[in-house]
Structure 1
Amino acid sequence: MDELDARLLVTMRAHPRIGLTELARLLGVARGTVQARVEKLTARGVIVDFGPTVSAAGTGHPILAFVWLQIAQGRLAEAVQALHDVPQILEVHGTSGQHDLLCRVVARSTDHLQEVIARILASPAVQRTDTTIALSTQIPYRIEPLIASSHEDR
C-alpha cells in the first residue's frame, strides 16, 4: 500500500458516501485512477464492504460485553455453530491462552445479557464463560492511524 492508497482509504472513511469523482478531486488524481485503486484494494481484501456502520446501541442494544468461552475438547465447530445462531453475538474470535473464544456481545439490558449468556451456555460444547461488561468506549474502532502509518512501515 502506497501513500495514495492510504490517502484514498482515510478519505473514504472520513466521507463514506463520497463519489469517485469527488474523491478524485479531493486527492488531486484522475477519476480512473481512483476507480482502479478502489477495485484493486477491494480485490486484495483491504476494502471489505461499503455498507453503513450501524450502532448496536442505536438498535436498542446499549449493553456491550466481552464474553470469553472455554470449549469442550474437540467441539469447536459445534460451539461456533451454536454461537452463530445467537443474533446478539456480533463477533467471535479464536484466541490463545486459557480461553478458546472471545465473543463481542450486545444486549438490551443486563437482564437480557444474562439471558444471552444462558443461551450460550445451553450448548453442550461450551463449558464455561467469563463475562466483562464495557462501561464506556475510550477509543472506538479505528483504522485510520494504521492506514496512515502502513506505507511508512516498509
Structure 2
Amino acid sequence: MDLDDLDLALLRLLLEEPRAGHREYARVLGVARGTVQSRIARLERRGAITGYAAQVSPEALGYTVQAFVHLHLAQGMLDDVTNRLAHVPEVLEAHSTTGEGDVLCRIAARGNAHLEQIVQTLLALPGVVRTRTEIALRGRVPYRVLPLLQQVRGER
C-alpha cells in the first residue's frame, strides 16, 4: 500500500492522540477537515486502519495471569480449531505459526488454577493433540505500531 507523507502524519496523530478528533488533526496537519475525513476513510477501506477501541487491561477485570499456549494440532484441523478458539473468552488472540506448535494463543486467566482449566478446555477441543504453556511474568514491551510508522517516515 502506498502511503504518502500526509497519510503517515495522520496515522501518527491517530496513534499518539486517538481522542483528538478530525478538527484537531486538520489543524495540526494544516489541511481541511474534509481532507482528514477522506484520508481516514481511504485508510480504513485499504485496511491500514483496522479499528478504533479503548485498550482494556485484563488485570483490571480480574484476569491477573497471562500465558502463551502453543497448540499442536492434528493434520488438517487448523481452521476447525481456530474457529473453536474464537468461542473461548480467555483466548485474547491466536496466531498460526511455524516452528514448535501450530497455533500460539495468548490467554488471560484469573489465577493458575483457572489457567489449568483453560488449558484442559483447549486440550479437549477436537484436533488439539497437545499443548505447551508458558506463563508471562510481566509485560515488558506492549503491542505497538508507532515505531514502525516512525521508521517508514524516516525512510522517505
> Structure 1 length as normaliser, TM-score?
0.93
- Offset, 1:98: 2.9
2:139 aligns with one of 122, 137, 147:
137
Deviations 1:116-136 (A, max 9, x none): 001000123101111111111
State yes or no: 1:67 paired with 2:69: yes
Percentage of identical aligned residues: 44
Q: Which structure exhibits the higher relative contact order, with contacts defined as CA atoms closer than 8 Å and separated by 6 or more residues?
A: 1
Equivalent residue number for residue 5 of structure 2: 3
- Offset, 1:76: 1.9
Q: For 2:63 and 2:6, locate their aligned partners in 1 and report how far apart those are by CA, in whole Å.
A: 38
Letter in 2 for 1:42: E
- Aligned alpha-carbon RMSD (Å): 1.4
- Offset, 1:152: 4.2
Equivalent residue number for residue 47 of structure 2: 45
Q: For 2:4 and 2:137, locate their aligned partners in 1 and report how far apart those are by CA, in whole Å.
A: 38
Q: For 2:41 and 2:80, locate their aligned partners in 1 and report how far apart those are by CA, in whole Å.
A: 36
Pairing of 1:1-154 with structure 2 (within 5 A): 1-153=3-155
Q: For 1:104 and 1:153, locate their aligned partners in 2 and report how far apart those are by CA, in whole Å.
A: 33
Letter in 1 for 2:8: A
Name the SS for the 1:69 alignment partner: strand
- Bigger shift: residues 34-43 or 51-60: 51-60
Q: For 1:62 and 1:16, locate their aligned partners in 2 and report how far apart those are by CA, in whole Å.
A: 27
- Offset, 1:43: 0.6
Aligned length: 154
Runs of 4+ in 1 over 3 A off after TM superposition: 151-154
Q: Which runs of 5+ in 1 are unaligned?
A: none
Are 1:7 and 1:148, in contact at CA under 8 Å, matched by a contact in 2? no
